[in-house]
Chain A
Amino acid sequence: MSDVRHPTLRAQAIWGERRAGGTDVMDRLHHGRIAAPIVDLRDVPGLDGVGPAPGGGLRVGSAVRLAELAADERVRAGWPALADAAGGLANPQIRNVATFGGSLLQRTRCAWFRSPDFRCYKAGGTGCPAAGVDHPWHAPLSTGPCVAPHPSTLALALLAFDAKVEIEPRGLIEVAALYGDGMAAGAEHTVTEEELLVAAILPPPRPGAVSGWFRVASRGRAEWPLVEVILHLAPGFARVAVGGMHSVPARVPELEAALLAGAPLDPVVATLAASAPHASTSTRTKFPQLARAVEIVVARLGGVPAALPAPSFAPPAVPAPATPAPRGRR
């Protein structure tokens, strides 16, 4: 039986499996994937709330529920891809309790990790039983020892918006630093047991910026992605964050450059595929899916914004109202 603590101070909310909404921790608890005592964040102050950040951006507390995040008018207006993704991932019963921080720091959804029949690196074992198996949900671009894709969709949004995350006591760090390079076999992120994820800081919207999320999946809803993308485009600016392909949340600069250059995407993904460490029969199709997913979002956003220098007196464009996540609808 796992012990559970309910600290009331942030400084005490360390040393153990941090539990916020519980949708990941309780699942792993039932399947014997919790080794440490549970540190419940229920009574820990200062993790809640969406509010202005110094300098015009937005601060999103790690304990904000996904459903709140999706419905927040400020998020919808300024960072619509984040709101869309938060409102479209998992299912309503999960979004009503799962938190922003939990989404960023959840453990892998790899089927081998979640099955009681295996003990991989991430479950305290010594190898990856999945590495040699052709499985359509594997990450062909993983460069580390784990072949599962990183599970956090919201991390992609943070990458696409150049957000920073606030870790106590480490301070404000880049999203890339939150996740590392994927070479650590046992962990999905770099937050240590002495640290606590407090919030994310979204920089102010860029003038003329648009953003969108698209997920390639098999079933129509409540389905984990095969590939997903979050695009953040502005004049002369492109961010393409990609899920389902890497073992850490990743931007793909080659795709960003192609978008800005108006170049076709197929050669870009073909190059990625050619050097993919874990491409297999059933993950090879993720590369054309990635190119198409990017094109779908670009088309929905009305194309890549022209790279003309914006006149300084022009007000920032109001982002298009967020549309519900499309899932194969035309």
Chain B
Amino acid sequence: MPHATRRGFLRSVLGATAAVALVPEAASAAAGAAAAAPAGDPPASLDLWVNGKAVRVTPGPTETTLELVRERLGLTGTKHGCGHGACGACTVLVDGASVASCLHPASHLGGRHLETVETFADGAKLHPMQRAFAAEDALQCGYCTPGFVTEAVAFFARWRAEKGRVAPSRDEVAGALAGHLCRCGAYGAIYAAVQAACAGQYDEDSAVAPPRVEAVEKVTGRARYTVDVRLEGQLEGVLFRSPHASAILRRLDLAPALKVPGVRGAVALAEVGARARFVGHEIAVLAAESREAARAGLAAIVAEWEVLPAAITLAAARAPGAPVVFEPHATMPLGAELPTTPAKWSGNARGPTDLSIGGRPGAVPRALADASVVLVEDTWTTEPLCHTALEPHAALAMWQDNGLDVWLSTQAVTAMADDLAEVFGLTRDRVRVHTEHVGGGFGAKASFDIQIKACVEIAKVTGRAVRLVLDRPGELTVAIRAGQEANLRVGAKADGSPAGLDLEAYGHGGACIGNSMGILFRLLYPFAEKRLQEWDIASNTPPTRPMRGPGGFPALFALEGAMDELATKLGKDTLALRRGWDPNPVRNRLYDRVEALPLWKDRPQSGQTGRFRRGVGLANGAWMYFLQGNTEVQAEVADGLIVLRTAAQDMGNGTRTVIAETAARVLGADRSLFRVELGESSFPTGPMSAGSRTTASIVPAVEDALTQLAADLASRAGRALGLQQAKAAPGGVAHAGGLAPWADVLKVAPRMSRIGHRRHDHAPYFLPFAIANLSIGNHLGVAVQVAEVEVDTWLGRVRVLRTWTGVGVGHIAVPRLARSQVEGGVIQGVGAALYEARLVDPVTGGLVSANLEDYRVPGIADAPEMAVEFDEAGYEDVLGGGIGLSELVAVPVAASIANAVRAATGWAPRALPLRPDRVLAGVSA
């Protein structure tokens, strides 16, 4: 049986036990240390300048500048992103010109001046561009930031020399930064930062702290990610994967790999007789002194397969007589975050899972069959997408001090430590997970993955520290969300009132189950009868996992597209129809704001005929309110400060800043009075950052901790200072003689600590019990998304020009960061709507979009001008006054863009992404 963890099954079907674990014998290990010298030119030493200092190095024959900078010189600010010259995370300056260091031979650096992100600040004095990035919040996870900053610094120098203190246009900024990708989607603020810095607004230091607590670390390259951690003698781990989409492993011989110089150990992750169900299925792990040696080891592994017929595409998996992906009683990884309900299998189809509302059998079909009903009926499809965090999945494991240390790029510090303890049979205190900064996650790093287990296993076998970082094709194989197909019928009576909604949904999630979207159809338009049925269609492609708003954007693409068309058929205004169907007061207040927007009021009319046609589309978003009830935050007085700790993580979502700002608000104190420490599993229980739960879980716990601590401080420090009638008040301790500011109180306070808890809301929850510590509250997040597009009807290209997002989630903990997160959701929605699709070969199941040229995420030139507004009322019975928004704001974007394309052209898209060929075929039809 596979290992059950707290959140379902270990994600590999094969991930049972280590069938074989091997290390080389001492003699061959010694031989490996003296690897044969290459036959090309002997290594030559080079003299160069690195950040102004003369350096002599002797690079290896194929060493890249990135390897030289990171591994040899230890300058880890420069990041490895795509390895392909497309993402820009590795950008350095060579003689002042930006260069993709991952592709730049180190041997070309002789006599050159090399500059990395570490050199731009002069001590504590930041470069104007660094100040601008920090002050404008032009970053989230921060992994791409050193590359952006480096490029922008070079641009700044050129621009100032040529133009002086003037702001460049958006187009000029886009041209300069075209070679950089920010998956968090900070482009709006990046435009602002570059323009403002060039115009001279950041030439001087400012006393104002940047909105994001760790901004300075991120713009200087000091922020340390899992991939940046180096331990003495660490090995590089790599995975051996199945080359077949469906095959039974008949023989696996790791011994030849151990004879490869530098290889230090190998562990089988699959037993002979196990079945691989997708190309890339993890079969074995090995560790070696270098990545090159590890790759050579991989090539030496002998595996024999009985290749079986495979079902790759949705159509093939559904065809009569299709090869069956899961035989009876097979272990099926979960694609969803929550357990699925039991359902029947028929071939590769599992279902239906019935989520209907009302539940009178046949009621909806009968209602929709009425001849007077106005009906929109069709099929909407989306393709599998990749999360594409720029920091790939990364782990560094070391067994030491009678326990296990794992540096991990994860969205779930606490849960990973729990899982590691359980899987490896350790007490929880002997597992130490460390996660200082996380280079993006978006749902991909929330589960206990086979590669984490593999890394820890091989570290145990070799007795060494082992780092396992997925390469980009591996990342694009592990981090996938399901494609979806919605067969949807929405009907209205002649008076415009709802007649019924009928959904048959099919999740295409590869070799896993639980890829649902039907639940989304319950969140909007709460009328009495909806028939909602859904199926998983299994195929021989990699199992998927939740991505920011799982099922959300495909569901709303269908539902909000249908609503738009229904309004047209009814001859009603699209907003008026929605108002009539959804009485949510927050939503109706947002509708009021939409109606006042020039973007909406002055939208272009239909019937345009020129080459470029503009349209404005609208879509509703809704998401659930999740919280993690066991969340704890510790507040401790130390060093004249209050240190706030929780075993949570910040992946760019702003956890640190939310804690610090909430603490400052509770005490009425400056943020500088607090230090936030995250990312250690030894800290009190922290929430996962998944299901938009972080802020909703943490804010009340911070309030609780500081309310307690403030009261204690007032009494104990009050005694120490001899204050009469001391009690906590905004700004300090109020007493008979006035107010003692917190800074003074903390100077005399004894070391003390309080734990704050995330208590139950005053209101009941939607479910009376928690699932894996996750509670579902009785509120919905509300978003209304408006997008303006320009469609080039000659070439089929769609550009999103402007967007407006109205968000109702109650109190916003940190407005500036919330806006950044909303804008990131918009950018990711642009990607889903226009560019992104994970492509596999329909015959072999191999990965076609295996890099960041062929998997297309939006660049800065694709970012619209974005406006964001918050409606903060209506969530007063929630502790902290507000709920999460990350997923909420990501789900309606693609639908609003598709509706805008229809408004511009009259053509209603049915399949995403809206590639030029599809658009051109659509508008020409």
Contacts and interface: CB of A to CB of B under 8 A. Distances in A.
Interface of A: 1-6, 19, 21-23, 26-27, 29-30, 37-38, 40, 42, 67, 90-94, 96-97, 109, 111-112, 114-118, 129-130, 132-133, 135-136, 216-224, 226, 281-286, 288-289, 292-293, 296, 324, 327-330
Given A26-B64, A115-B847, A219-B861, A285 B917 contact: yes
Interface in B69-94: 83-86, 88, 91, 94
Contacts of A133: 841-842, 848
Nearest to B293: A1
B794 interface: yes
A105 B296 CA distance: 29
Given A29-B62, A67-B97, A219-B859, A115 B835 contact: no
Contacts of A96: 94, 97-99
Given A3-B61, A93-B151, A94-B85, A118 B846 contact: yes
Contacts of B98: 92-93, 96
A128 B383 CA distance: 24
Interface string B280-294: 000000000000100
A328 B848 contact: no
Taking chain A's interface residues, is the majority helix, strand, or loop, or is none over half, making it mixed? loop
A5 B860 CA distance: 39
B861 A221 contact: yes
Given A2-B61, A93-B179, A219 B856 contact: yes
A117 B846 contact: yes
Given A117-B846, A118-B841, A221 B178 contact: yes
B854 A111 contact: yes
B174 A221 contact: yes
B232 interface: no
Interface string B16-48: 000000000000000000000011110010000
A266 B709 CA distance: 77
Nearest to A216: B795
B243 to A, nearest CB: 7
B795 A328 contact: yes
Interface stretch (B100-108, B413-421, B489-497): B100-108
Interface string B825-848: 000000000110001011110111
B526 interface: no
A285 B151 CA distance: 36
Contacts of A118: 841, 844, 846
Nearest to A97: B99
Given A118-B846, A221-B174, A221-B175, A2 B62 contact: yes
29 contacts: A4-B62, A5-B40, A6-B41, A23-B100, A26-B62, A26-B103, A90-B85, A93-B85, A93-B88, A93-B179, A94-B179, A96-B94, A97-B97, A97-B103, A115-B854, A116-B473, A129-B846, A133-B842, A133-B848, A218-B834, A219-B858, A219-B862, A221-B178, A281-B921, A285-B921, A288-B920, A327-B861, A328-B792, A328-B797
Given A93-B99, A115-B850, A218-B835, A26 B915 contact: no
A249 to B, nearest CB: 20
A285 B799 CA distance: 18
Interface string B206-218: 0000000000000
Q: Which of B105, B792, B796 has the most CB of A within 10 A?
A: B105
B841 A112 contact: yes
Contacts of A111: 839, 848-850, 854
A262 to B, nearest CB: 20
A282 B848 contact: no
A151 to B, nearest CB: 11
Interface in B845-885: 846-851, 853-854, 856, 858-862
Contact of A117 (B292, B841, B862, B924): B841
B854 A23 contact: no
Contacts of B917: 136, 226, 281-286
A11 B54 CA distance: 34
Contacts of B795: 216, 289, 292-293, 328
B279 interface: yes
A218 B841 contact: no
A38 B86 CA distance: 23
B612 interface: yes
B859 A220 contact: yes
Interface in B795-839: 795-797, 799, 834-835, 839
A115 B108 contact: no
Given A4-B61, A324-B175, A117 B279 contact: yes
In order of increasing CB-CB distance, the 7 nearest A-B pairs are A91-B179, A3-B40, A117-B846, A220-B861, A115-B850, A221-B178, A292-B794
A112 B105 CA distance: 25
A26 B662 CA distance: 48
Given A92-B179, A114-B850, A220-B799, A22 B104 contact: yes
Given A115-B846, A223-B859, 9 more contacts: A1-B292, A3-B39, A21-B104, A93-B91, A96-B97, A112-B841, A118-B846, A133-B848, A219-B856
B102 A26 contact: yes
A91 B853 CA distance: 12
B38 A3 contact: yes
A226 B916 contact: yes
B176 interface: yes
B719 to A, nearest CB: 62
A16 B85 CA distance: 23
B844 A129 contact: yes
A136 B383 CA distance: 15
B920 A285 contact: yes
B105 A117 contact: no
A222 B84 CA distance: 13
Contacts of B853: 109, 114, 224
Contacts of A282: 915, 917-918
Contacts of B854: 111, 114-115
A298 B916 CA distance: 22
B790 to A, nearest CB: 8
A218 B847 contact: no
Contacts of B174: 220-221
Interface in B98-123: 98-100, 102-105, 107-108
A216 to B, nearest CB: 5
Nearest to A288: B920
